[in-house]
A = this chain, B = another copy of it.
Amino acid sequence: MALILTFLGQGSSEPAQVAIAAGQKLAGQGTRVLLAVQESGPTLNLLLGTVVTTSPTEITPNLKAVKLSSTFLLEQGWEQVKELEAKYLRSPTLKNVYGQELGILPGMDQALALNALREYDQSGQYDVIIYHGDSSWSTVRMLGIPEILSWYLRRFGQILQESDIGKALSPFIQPITSAILNVSWSADDLTQEPTNRANDILDQGKTALANPKRVTAYLLTSSDELAIAQSQYLWGCAQQVGLTVKGVLVHDREVTNTLTEKFDPLTVTAIPTGTGQDLTALKEALPDFLADSQPPQPITIDVAAKEVRVFLPGFEKKQVKLTQYGPEITIEAGDQRRNIDLPTPLRGQPVKGAKFQNHYLIISF
Protein backbone atom coordinates (compact mmCIF):
# COMPACT_ATOMS: atom_id res chain seq x y z
CA MET A 1 0.00 0.00 0.00
CA ALA A 2 1.31 3.36 -1.06
CA LEU A 3 1.29 6.80 0.48
CA ILE A 4 -0.76 9.18 -1.63
CA LEU A 5 0.79 12.62 -1.42
CA THR A 6 -0.62 15.84 -2.82
CA PHE A 7 0.21 19.55 -2.73
CA LEU A 8 -2.53 22.12 -2.27
CA GLY A 9 -1.63 25.53 -3.60
CA GLN A 10 -2.39 28.12 -6.20
CA GLY A 11 -1.01 28.56 -9.64
CA SER A 12 0.01 25.90 -12.05
CA SER A 13 3.75 25.74 -12.51
CA GLU A 14 4.71 26.00 -8.82
CA PRO A 15 2.67 23.05 -7.50
CA ALA A 16 3.84 21.11 -10.58
CA GLN A 17 7.50 21.90 -9.81
CA VAL A 18 7.08 20.86 -6.19
CA ALA A 19 5.36 17.62 -7.23
CA ILE A 20 8.21 16.78 -9.62
CA ALA A 21 10.92 17.72 -7.11
CA ALA A 22 9.24 15.65 -4.41
CA GLY A 23 9.06 12.69 -6.78
CA GLN A 24 12.73 13.02 -7.74
CA LYS A 25 13.80 13.36 -4.12
CA LEU A 26 11.86 10.32 -2.94
CA ALA A 27 12.95 8.24 -5.95
CA GLY A 28 16.58 9.18 -5.24
CA GLN A 29 16.16 7.71 -1.76
CA GLY A 30 15.08 4.37 -3.24
CA THR A 31 11.33 4.89 -2.86
CA ARG A 32 9.24 3.68 -5.82
CA VAL A 33 7.30 6.75 -6.90
CA LEU A 34 4.44 7.29 -9.34
CA LEU A 35 3.70 10.85 -10.36
CA ALA A 36 0.01 10.83 -11.34
CA VAL A 37 -0.82 13.97 -13.29
CA GLN A 38 -4.37 15.03 -13.92
CA GLU A 39 -3.75 18.68 -14.67
CA SER A 40 -4.99 19.73 -18.06
CA GLY A 41 -2.47 21.43 -20.29
CA PRO A 42 1.17 21.11 -21.15
CA THR A 43 2.79 22.46 -17.94
CA LEU A 44 4.05 19.18 -16.58
CA ASN A 45 5.24 17.90 -19.93
CA LEU A 46 7.23 21.10 -20.43
CA LEU A 47 8.75 20.92 -16.95
CA LEU A 48 9.67 17.25 -17.32
CA GLY A 49 10.85 17.71 -20.90
CA THR A 50 8.86 14.66 -22.00
CA VAL A 51 5.26 13.80 -22.86
CA VAL A 52 3.58 11.98 -19.98
CA THR A 53 1.29 9.29 -21.39
CA THR A 54 -1.63 7.24 -20.11
CA SER A 55 0.68 4.33 -19.18
CA PRO A 56 3.19 4.75 -16.35
CA THR A 57 6.56 5.47 -17.93
CA GLU A 58 9.95 5.71 -16.23
CA ILE A 59 11.31 9.25 -15.98
CA THR A 60 14.34 8.49 -13.83
CA PRO A 61 15.16 5.29 -11.88
CA ASN A 62 12.33 4.60 -9.39
CA LEU A 63 10.24 7.50 -10.74
CA LYS A 64 7.40 6.83 -13.14
CA ALA A 65 4.85 9.31 -14.43
CA VAL A 66 1.35 8.76 -15.76
CA LYS A 67 -1.29 11.05 -17.21
CA LEU A 68 -4.74 10.53 -15.70
CA SER A 69 -6.65 11.31 -18.88
CA SER A 70 -10.40 11.26 -18.36
CA THR A 71 -11.23 10.30 -21.94
CA PHE A 72 -8.86 7.33 -21.71
CA LEU A 73 -10.03 6.23 -18.25
CA LEU A 74 -13.70 6.56 -19.21
CA GLU A 75 -13.12 4.42 -22.29
CA GLN A 76 -11.52 1.71 -20.12
CA GLY A 77 -14.26 1.97 -17.49
CA TRP A 78 -16.97 1.75 -20.11
CA GLU A 79 -15.68 -1.63 -21.28
CA GLN A 80 -15.98 -2.88 -17.71
CA VAL A 81 -19.53 -1.52 -17.43
CA LYS A 82 -20.50 -3.29 -20.65
CA GLU A 83 -19.02 -6.55 -19.38
CA LEU A 84 -20.94 -6.24 -16.12
CA GLU A 85 -24.15 -5.47 -17.96
CA ALA A 86 -23.71 -8.45 -20.23
CA LYS A 87 -23.02 -10.64 -17.21
CA TYR A 88 -25.96 -9.58 -15.05
CA LEU A 89 -28.75 -8.47 -17.37
CA ARG A 90 -30.67 -10.77 -19.67
CA SER A 91 -30.90 -8.26 -22.50
CA PRO A 92 -27.85 -6.02 -22.48
CA THR A 93 -28.34 -2.79 -24.43
CA LEU A 94 -25.10 -0.92 -24.03
CA LYS A 95 -23.04 -3.01 -26.42
CA ASN A 96 -23.67 -0.57 -29.30
CA VAL A 97 -22.34 2.46 -27.45
CA TYR A 98 -18.58 2.84 -27.70
CA GLY A 99 -16.25 4.21 -25.06
CA GLN A 100 -14.63 6.31 -27.77
CA GLU A 101 -17.82 8.36 -28.14
CA LEU A 102 -18.36 9.27 -24.50
CA GLY A 103 -17.96 12.93 -23.55
CA ILE A 104 -16.72 14.11 -20.17
CA LEU A 105 -19.19 15.72 -17.80
CA PRO A 106 -18.09 17.61 -14.68
CA GLY A 107 -17.35 15.24 -11.81
CA MET A 108 -16.18 12.43 -14.05
CA ASP A 109 -12.59 13.69 -13.84
CA GLN A 110 -12.51 13.28 -10.07
CA ALA A 111 -14.35 9.94 -9.97
CA LEU A 112 -12.13 8.45 -12.66
CA ALA A 113 -8.92 9.79 -11.10
CA LEU A 114 -9.80 8.49 -7.64
CA ASN A 115 -10.50 5.07 -9.05
CA ALA A 116 -7.22 5.12 -10.98
CA LEU A 117 -5.32 6.10 -7.82
CA ARG A 118 -7.01 3.20 -5.99
CA GLU A 119 -5.88 0.78 -8.68
CA TYR A 120 -2.30 2.06 -8.77
CA ASP A 121 -2.26 1.83 -4.98
CA GLN A 122 -3.48 -1.77 -5.07
CA SER A 123 -0.98 -2.75 -7.75
CA GLY A 124 1.71 -2.86 -5.04
CA GLN A 125 4.22 -1.34 -7.47
CA TYR A 126 4.60 2.00 -5.73
CA ASP A 127 5.58 3.22 -2.28
CA VAL A 128 4.46 6.79 -2.92
CA ILE A 129 1.92 8.11 -5.42
CA ILE A 130 2.13 11.88 -5.91
CA TYR A 131 -1.16 13.21 -7.24
CA HIS A 132 -1.03 16.48 -9.16
CA GLY A 133 -4.58 17.56 -9.94
CA ASP A 134 -6.12 20.41 -11.84
CA SER A 135 -6.78 22.62 -8.82
CA SER A 136 -6.62 22.26 -5.06
CA TRP A 137 -10.35 22.61 -4.78
CA SER A 138 -10.88 19.83 -7.29
CA THR A 139 -8.48 17.62 -5.28
CA VAL A 140 -10.46 18.31 -2.09
CA ARG A 141 -13.75 17.46 -3.81
CA MET A 142 -12.19 14.27 -5.20
CA LEU A 143 -10.95 13.08 -1.84
CA GLY A 144 -14.40 13.81 -0.39
CA ILE A 145 -16.02 11.20 -2.64
CA PRO A 146 -15.70 8.11 -0.37
CA GLU A 147 -17.15 9.92 2.67
CA ILE A 148 -19.95 11.74 0.85
CA LEU A 149 -20.92 9.01 -1.58
CA SER A 150 -21.13 6.48 1.23
CA TRP A 151 -23.43 8.91 3.05
CA TYR A 152 -25.67 9.13 -0.03
CA LEU A 153 -25.73 5.32 -0.21
CA ARG A 154 -26.63 4.84 3.43
CA ARG A 155 -29.18 7.67 3.46
CA PHE A 156 -30.86 6.89 0.15
CA GLY A 157 -30.28 3.12 0.12
CA GLN A 158 -33.08 2.42 2.56
CA ILE A 159 -35.38 5.08 1.10
CA LEU A 160 -34.85 3.86 -2.44
CA GLN A 161 -35.49 0.29 -1.40
CA GLU A 162 -38.84 1.20 0.07
CA SER A 163 -39.88 3.38 -2.86
CA ASP A 164 -41.73 2.49 -6.04
CA ILE A 165 -38.68 3.43 -8.09
CA GLY A 166 -36.48 1.24 -5.93
CA LYS A 167 -38.82 -1.72 -6.32
CA ALA A 168 -38.86 -1.23 -10.09
CA LEU A 169 -35.09 -0.92 -10.21
CA SER A 170 -34.00 -3.52 -7.67
CA PRO A 171 -33.52 -6.40 -10.14
CA PHE A 172 -30.99 -4.22 -11.96
CA ILE A 173 -29.35 -2.21 -9.22
CA GLN A 174 -28.60 -4.99 -6.78
CA PRO A 175 -26.33 -7.20 -8.90
CA ILE A 176 -24.51 -4.29 -10.49
CA THR A 177 -23.85 -2.18 -7.42
CA SER A 178 -22.77 -5.20 -5.45
CA ALA A 179 -20.36 -6.11 -8.22
CA ILE A 180 -18.92 -2.63 -8.54
CA LEU A 181 -18.89 -1.34 -5.00
CA ASN A 182 -19.12 -4.55 -2.99
CA VAL A 183 -22.09 -2.88 -1.33
CA SER A 184 -25.16 -4.89 -0.58
CA TRP A 185 -28.47 -3.08 -0.55
CA SER A 186 -30.26 -5.40 1.83
CA ALA A 187 -31.68 -3.77 4.92
CA ASP A 188 -29.64 -6.04 7.20
CA ASP A 189 -26.33 -4.76 5.95
CA LEU A 190 -27.32 -1.14 6.07
CA THR A 191 -27.95 -1.24 9.78
CA GLN A 192 -24.74 -3.05 10.64
CA GLU A 193 -21.73 -1.30 12.08
CA PRO A 194 -19.44 0.25 9.46
CA THR A 195 -16.60 -2.01 10.59
CA ASN A 196 -18.52 -5.04 9.37
CA ARG A 197 -18.55 -3.69 5.87
CA ALA A 198 -14.80 -3.82 5.42
CA ASN A 199 -15.23 -5.05 1.87
CA ASP A 200 -16.94 -1.89 0.88
CA ILE A 201 -14.74 -0.05 -1.54
CA LEU A 202 -15.88 3.30 -0.20
CA ASP A 203 -15.08 2.31 3.35
CA GLN A 204 -11.62 1.33 2.20
CA GLY A 205 -11.28 4.81 0.79
CA LYS A 206 -12.49 6.40 4.01
CA THR A 207 -10.11 4.27 6.06
CA ALA A 208 -7.18 5.22 3.82
CA LEU A 209 -8.08 8.89 4.01
CA ALA A 210 -8.29 8.77 7.79
CA ASN A 211 -4.72 7.46 7.97
CA PRO A 212 -2.05 10.13 7.39
CA LYS A 213 0.39 7.37 6.42
CA ARG A 214 -1.86 6.51 3.49
CA VAL A 215 -3.11 9.91 2.26
CA THR A 216 -1.55 13.22 3.17
CA ALA A 217 -1.38 16.77 1.86
CA TYR A 218 1.00 19.72 2.16
CA LEU A 219 -0.06 23.33 1.70
CA LEU A 220 1.96 25.44 -0.71
CA THR A 221 1.88 29.20 -0.23
CA SER A 222 3.79 32.44 -0.67
CA SER A 223 4.28 35.59 1.39
CA ASP A 224 1.28 37.16 -0.34
CA GLU A 225 -1.54 37.88 2.11
CA LEU A 226 -4.21 36.58 -0.23
CA ALA A 227 -2.29 33.36 -0.84
CA ILE A 228 -1.88 32.82 2.91
CA ALA A 229 -5.60 33.40 3.56
CA GLN A 230 -6.45 31.03 0.73
CA SER A 231 -4.13 28.36 2.17
CA GLN A 232 -5.69 28.65 5.61
CA TYR A 233 -9.10 28.18 4.03
CA LEU A 234 -7.87 25.15 2.06
CA TRP A 235 -6.51 23.67 5.27
CA GLY A 236 -10.01 23.80 6.74
CA CYS A 237 -11.57 22.39 3.57
CA ALA A 238 -9.10 19.49 3.59
CA GLN A 239 -9.99 18.69 7.19
CA GLN A 240 -13.69 18.80 6.27
CA VAL A 241 -13.24 15.85 3.88
CA GLY A 242 -10.99 14.05 6.37
CA LEU A 243 -7.74 14.77 4.53
CA THR A 244 -4.83 15.25 6.91
CA VAL A 245 -2.56 18.20 6.22
CA LYS A 246 0.96 17.50 7.42
CA GLY A 247 2.85 20.72 6.73
CA VAL A 248 3.21 24.01 4.93
CA LEU A 249 5.73 24.85 2.22
CA VAL A 250 6.37 28.54 1.65
CA HIS A 251 8.28 30.34 -1.08
CA ASP A 252 9.71 32.96 1.26
CA ARG A 253 11.98 32.33 4.24
CA GLU A 254 11.08 35.71 5.79
CA VAL A 255 7.52 34.73 6.61
CA THR A 256 8.14 31.30 8.13
CA ASN A 257 7.70 32.66 11.67
CA THR A 258 4.40 34.36 10.86
CA LEU A 259 3.19 31.20 9.17
CA THR A 260 4.27 28.94 12.04
CA GLU A 261 1.86 30.94 14.17
CA LYS A 262 -0.97 30.97 11.63
CA PHE A 263 -0.65 27.28 10.82
CA ASP A 264 0.13 25.97 14.30
CA PRO A 265 0.68 22.99 14.92
CA LEU A 266 1.90 22.30 11.36
CA THR A 267 5.58 22.41 10.40
CA VAL A 268 6.46 25.27 8.05
CA THR A 269 9.30 24.70 5.56
CA ALA A 270 10.83 27.45 3.39
CA ILE A 271 11.50 26.38 -0.20
CA PRO A 272 13.13 28.31 -3.05
CA THR A 273 10.98 29.39 -5.97
CA GLY A 274 11.62 27.03 -8.85
CA THR A 275 13.86 28.25 -11.65
CA GLY A 276 12.78 26.45 -14.80
CA GLN A 277 13.81 22.83 -15.02
CA ASP A 278 16.63 22.94 -12.45
CA LEU A 279 15.02 21.67 -9.29
CA THR A 280 18.19 20.87 -7.30
CA ALA A 281 17.75 23.58 -4.67
CA LEU A 282 14.06 22.87 -4.37
CA LYS A 283 14.68 19.13 -3.89
CA GLU A 284 17.17 19.81 -1.10
CA ALA A 285 14.83 22.15 0.73
CA LEU A 286 11.80 19.83 0.74
CA PRO A 287 10.96 18.15 4.05
CA ASP A 288 11.10 14.40 4.67
CA PHE A 289 7.64 13.37 3.50
CA LEU A 290 7.94 9.91 5.04
CA ALA A 291 8.95 11.10 8.52
CA ASP A 292 6.65 10.17 11.36
CA SER A 293 4.66 13.07 12.68
CA GLN A 294 1.42 13.49 14.53
CA PRO A 295 -0.68 16.03 12.69
CA PRO A 296 -4.08 16.69 14.29
CA GLN A 297 -6.67 14.09 13.34
CA PRO A 298 -9.71 15.49 11.51
CA ILE A 299 -12.12 13.92 13.99
CA THR A 300 -12.00 12.16 17.35
CA ILE A 301 -14.99 10.58 19.05
CA ASP A 302 -15.00 9.97 22.80
CA VAL A 303 -17.99 7.72 23.47
CA ALA A 304 -17.48 7.68 27.26
CA ALA A 305 -17.36 11.47 27.54
CA LYS A 306 -20.13 11.73 24.92
CA GLU A 307 -18.00 14.16 23.00
CA VAL A 308 -17.05 14.59 19.35
CA ARG A 309 -14.10 16.85 18.49
CA VAL A 310 -13.75 18.03 14.90
CA PHE A 311 -10.55 19.81 13.89
CA LEU A 312 -11.55 22.74 11.66
CA PRO A 313 -8.67 25.16 11.28
CA GLY A 314 -8.80 28.04 8.82
CA PHE A 315 -12.43 28.84 9.56
CA GLU A 316 -13.90 31.41 11.87
CA LYS A 317 -16.69 30.46 14.25
CA LYS A 318 -19.37 32.09 12.08
CA GLN A 319 -18.25 30.09 9.05
CA VAL A 320 -19.05 26.78 10.76
CA LYS A 321 -22.63 25.54 11.06
CA LEU A 322 -23.82 22.46 12.96
CA THR A 323 -27.24 20.97 12.18
CA GLN A 324 -29.08 17.78 12.99
CA TYR A 325 -31.92 17.49 10.45
CA GLY A 326 -31.39 13.87 9.49
CA PRO A 327 -30.32 10.87 11.56
CA GLU A 328 -26.69 12.08 11.67
CA ILE A 329 -25.03 15.35 12.61
CA THR A 330 -24.08 17.64 9.76
CA ILE A 331 -21.16 20.06 9.83
CA GLU A 332 -21.25 22.77 7.19
CA ALA A 333 -18.10 24.77 6.48
CA GLY A 334 -16.15 25.81 3.40
CA ASP A 335 -19.03 25.07 1.01
CA GLN A 336 -18.97 21.45 2.12
CA ARG A 337 -21.15 19.30 4.29
CA ARG A 338 -19.84 16.49 6.38
CA ASN A 339 -22.30 14.04 7.90
CA ILE A 340 -20.88 12.16 10.84
CA ASP A 341 -22.04 8.59 11.29
CA LEU A 342 -21.67 8.24 15.06
CA PRO A 343 -21.00 4.97 16.89
CA THR A 344 -24.07 3.24 18.33
CA PRO A 345 -24.19 4.82 21.84
CA LEU A 346 -24.27 8.34 20.37
CA ARG A 347 -26.25 7.61 17.22
CA GLY A 348 -29.60 9.38 17.05
CA GLN A 349 -28.89 11.29 20.28
CA PRO A 350 -29.74 15.01 20.25
CA VAL A 351 -26.81 17.40 20.45
CA LYS A 352 -26.67 19.02 23.90
CA GLY A 353 -24.10 21.65 23.17
CA ALA A 354 -21.42 22.78 20.78
CA LYS A 355 -18.53 25.22 21.04
CA PHE A 356 -15.79 26.35 18.71
CA GLN A 357 -12.46 26.60 20.51
CA ASN A 358 -8.84 26.68 19.27
CA HIS A 359 -9.79 25.40 15.80
CA TYR A 360 -11.87 22.59 17.30
CA LEU A 361 -15.63 22.20 17.06
CA ILE A 362 -16.52 20.35 20.24
CA ILE A 363 -19.94 18.72 20.20
CA SER A 364 -21.42 17.15 23.31
CA PHE A 365 -24.35 14.76 23.61
Contact = CB atoms under 8 A, between A and B. Distances in A.
Interface of A: 10-13, 39-43, 46-47, 69-71, 89-91, 93-94, 96-98, 100-111, 134-135, 137-138, 141-142, 144-145, 147-149, 151-152, 155-156, 159-160, 162-166, 168-169, 171-172, 224-227, 229-230, 233-234, 237, 323, 325-326, 328, 330, 332, 334-339
A194 B151 CA distance: 39
Contacts of A334: 40
Contacts of A226: 12-13, 42-43, 46-47
B71 A332 contact: yes
Contacts of A328: 101
Which of A101, A141, A149, A168 gathers the greatest number of chain B CB atoms within 10 Å? A101
Given A135-B135, A163-B93, A337 B168 contact: no
Given A12-B227, A100-B325, A100-B337, 11 more contacts: A40-B237, A47-B226, A89-B165, A93-B162, A103-B336, A103-B339, A104-B336, A105-B144, A105-B145, A106-B110, A106-B141
A51 to B, nearest CB: 10
Contacts of A159: 93-94, 96-97
Contacts of A330: 100-101
Contact of A229 (B46, B94, B104, B162): B46
A145 B106 CA distance: 7
Contacts of A97: 155-156, 159, 326
Nearest to A325: B98
B91 A163 contact: yes
A137 B40 contact: yes
A201 to B, nearest CB: 16
A124 B110 CA distance: 35
B104 A141 contact: yes
29 contacts: A11-B11, A40-B334, A41-B137, A46-B229, A47-B226, A70-B335, A71-B335, A71-B336, A89-B164, A97-B159, A98-B325, A100-B323, A100-B325, A100-B332, A101-B323, A101-B326, A103-B144, A103-B147, A105-B148, A106-B106, A106-B107, A106-B142, A107-B107, A107-B108, A109-B141, A134-B137, A135-B137, A138-B138, A168-B169
Contacts of A107: 105-108, 110
A137 B42 CA distance: 13
Nearest to A155: B97
